[in-house]
Amino acid sequence: MTLETMPFSKALNAGLRKAMEDDPKVLLMGEDIGKLGGVFRVTEHLQRDFGEKRVLDTPLAESGIVGTAIGLAMAGFRPVIEIQFDGFVFPAFDQITTQLAKLTNRHEGSLSLPIVIRIPYGGHIGAVEHHQESPEAYFAHTPGLRVVSPSTPNDAYWMIQEAIASNDPVIFMEPKSRYWPKGEVELDASAAPLHATRVVRTGTDVTLVGHGAMVTTLLQAAALAESEGTSCEVVDLRSLSPIDYEPILGSVRKTGRMVYAQEAQGFASVGSEVAATVMERAFYALEAPVLRVSGFDTPFPPAKLEGQYLPDADRILEAVDRSLAY
């Protein structure tokens, strides 16, 4: 096994490079992704190595970028789009939800649209309005889109390649606060399925579930809980649509308790859906209600207040204590 330690952003870069080497129909599009390498340097040096016809710097026109990608996919290409920041995706929302998500169904399955839309999302970087949001529920709610979010460099490397290989549109949510921390990447291992949920820490008392950057916070909370005598199992959702429920249900049937944590607002969210499904499918295994910890139902606050808005290990541990008190 070949292991290499690299930041999340470099793992994405390596995954994109591998996909482009393997398939000449893969091309990248986005604002400032060429010579600059993107604002987070995820596409650094790819234009230099693959040329301007495969790594395209686009105008600042998200709707036009997605519309162009749809046409390229119809012509046999596999476009990978970078949306520069989460809040910038909304000018393209119409193209994504009313065209990209529906065209395959409109053609009764005869038309494939292998398009990946990469979206840096979430907080913890002290950014301004429109640069720190969690819009994943909008896309998970839309039939015809696959929605995934890696939490580790290894998943970033493999999942971006699997997303590009998919014949369906994939919304690829990248937790921007994880771009810099390093982790081991297994460069020659077989990848877990794109939509597989994974248990990343075993435990017996409470199941903690989350996605994206929140998985790191859940692991921190689980370590603190262990020091206080509580054993928490941590489950990384990885895929937000479709959701692989069996590992979650298996964990809940073992622990009898579950807490879901996310950066996004709590109302009508991914956490809401997971909580409702677990209550339906594992009700008799539960010793307490499924609890949720989330961002508040307000616009994302200015940078100085994000520490109050985003769930941390203490808020998760408070939910663990409430669950154990039932």
The tens digit of pLDDT for each residue in 213-268 reads 999 999 999 999 999 999 999 999 999 999 999 999 999 999 999 999 999 999 99
Average pLDDT over residues 183-209: 94
> Is residue 251 exposed (0-12), middle (13-18) or buried (19+ Cβ within 10 Å)?
buried
Residue 191 within any structural domain of the chain:
no
User: Does a structural domain hold residue 193?
Assistant: no
**Domain containing 128: what range?**
3-186
**Among the listed residues 299, 298, 288, 310, the one whose alpha carbon sits nearest the alpha carbon of residue 217:** 310
In a domain, 298, yes or no: yes
Residue 192 lies in a domain: no
How many domains would you assign to the chain? 2
Instruction: Specify the pLDDT at position 270.
Output: 98
208 and 298 in a single domain? The answer is yes
One domain, residues 128 and 241: no
Nearest to 30 by CA among 100, 90, 119: 119
Please report which helix (H) or strand (E) contains residue 157, including its range. helix 153-165
Whether 35 and 171 map to the same domain: the answer is yes
Of 186, 211, 229, the residue that ends a domain is 186
33 plus 161 within the same structural domain: yes
**Is residue 146 domain-shared with residue 290, that is, in the same domain?**
no
- Are 135 and 236 within one domain? no
pLDDT over threshold 90, residue 303? no
Among 154, 186, 218, the domain boundary falls at 186
In percent, the amount of the chain with pLDDT more than 90 equals 92
Question: What pLDDT shows up at residue 127?
Answer: 82
The verdict on 126 and 40 lying in the same domain is yes
The answer as to whether 163 is a domain residue is yes
- 210 plus 68 within the same structural domain: no
Q: What pLDDT, on the 0 to 100 scale, is given for residue 9?
A: 98
The CATH number linked to 213 is: 3.40.50.920
| Neighbour tally for 228: CB within 10 Å | 9
Q: Mean pLDDT in the chain? A: 96
Mean pLDDT calculated for residue range 288-303: 94
Looking at the structure, tell me whether residues 158 and 221 fall in a common domain: no
Percent of the chain with pLDDT strictly greater than 70: 100
Beta partners for residue 261, in sequence order: 210, 293
100 found inside a domain: yes
The answer, yes or no, to whether residue 190 has pLDDT greater than 80, is no
pLDDT, residue 238, reads 98
Q: Cβ neighbours of residue 229 under 8 Å, at least 6 residues apart?
A: none
Q: Are residues 250 and 307 in the same domain?
A: yes
Q: pTM score, two decimals?
A: 0.96
Residue 126 has pLDDT above 90, yes or no: no
Q: What is the pLDDT of residue 195?
A: 97
Q: What is the pLDDT of residue 128?
A: 78
Q: For residue 115, is it left (φ>0), alpha (ψ between -120 and 50) or beta? A: beta
Choose one of 156, 186, 216: the last residue of a domain: 186
Point out the residues that are catalytic: 131
Q: Give residue 125's pLDDT band: very low, low, confident or very high (50, 70, 90).
A: confident
- Would you state the pLDDT for residue 188? 87
> Residue 183 burial by CB count (10 A; 0-12/13-18/19+): exposed, middle or buried?
middle
Using 50, 70 and 90 to split pLDDT, how confident is the model at 124? confident
List pLDDT tens digits, range 66-81.
999 999 999 999 999 9
Q: How confident is the model at residue 85 (pLDDT cuts 50, 70, 90)?
A: very high
Distances (CA, A) of 12 to 22, 120, 178, 269: 15, 12, 11, 26
- Residues 65 and 136 reside in one and the same domain: yes
Confidence of residue 192 (pLDDT cuts 50, 70, 90): confident
> Is pLDDT at 191 greater than 80 in this prediction?
no
Q: Does 204 lie in the same domain as 172?
A: no
For residue 92, what is the domain's CATH number? 3.40.50.970
